[in-house]
Chain A
């Protein structure tokens, strides 16, 4: 375990979600489900945690009578991700 790293992002699934979203405008729940390989329940719990921290925004709509949940990173989430990456880089190479 690496100390002093944002604990919210220092979780395999939450980090996966944020990493998938970082290069995208937005993605829907099923895409995140497929790409992370997580279970529905776990994924929705972790998305909620990120949403509560205001790292991502979640919008719900209906397409052909099926619910569609879309997630997008917020500026706060992007900043947290960048700081996290800078943090782990320091562990790999403490004297760049």
Chain B
């Protein structure tokens, strides 16, 4: 068969085909986005409109739940996947490292002042978003990271309850918007 040029073209075409589609369908961004958006708004509501003494409980209840759902979803997805890119292997480790860092900050946050914790959380999220965007070659996640860094800078200068609204804003634009964009793209690719 065929000449060297044809063989090389075949190789190039196949490599392109294998890399073409983004394998992320956005489900993790949507899950975490909705959970954290709800938690921050409920926290804000409890703080302002009720006398409830432990409004932060909403995070302690919702976040571990999301963690469990997220790990079940991850396991299902990796079983179903038709192909695994190298980045698919790296991403869970990246987000696990972000989650561990955030947990340390949240648990030991009382050693700092609480108004420092949320801006630092936003910065850690930005690291996860920026690196994920680069790994799966999806620019909106990188813009989302930039927005998180800007929100983090703002957050250093405002009161705790306003920080909750900044977190909600981050969830809406940094997680839910790219999450729905990824979902739409995954549906187009599957069609």
Contacts and interface: CB of A to CB of B under 8 A. Distances in A.
Interface of A: 1-2, 10-12, 15-16, 19-28, 30-31, 35-36, 63, 68, 85, 88-89, 91-92
A19 B10 contact: yes
Chain B interface mostly:
helix
A24 B84 contact: yes
Contact of B5 (A16, A85, A92): A92
Given A12-B2, A88-B4, A91-B4, A19 B82 contact: no
Size class of B's contact patch? 20 to 34
Contacts of A12: 1-2, 10
B10 A63 contact: no
Interface in B1-58: 1-5, 7-8, 10-11, 13-15, 17-19
B14 to A, nearest CB: 3
Interface of B: 1-5, 7-8, 10-11, 13-15, 17-19, 79-86, 88-89
Given A19-B10, A35-B18, A88-B7, A25 B86 contact: yes
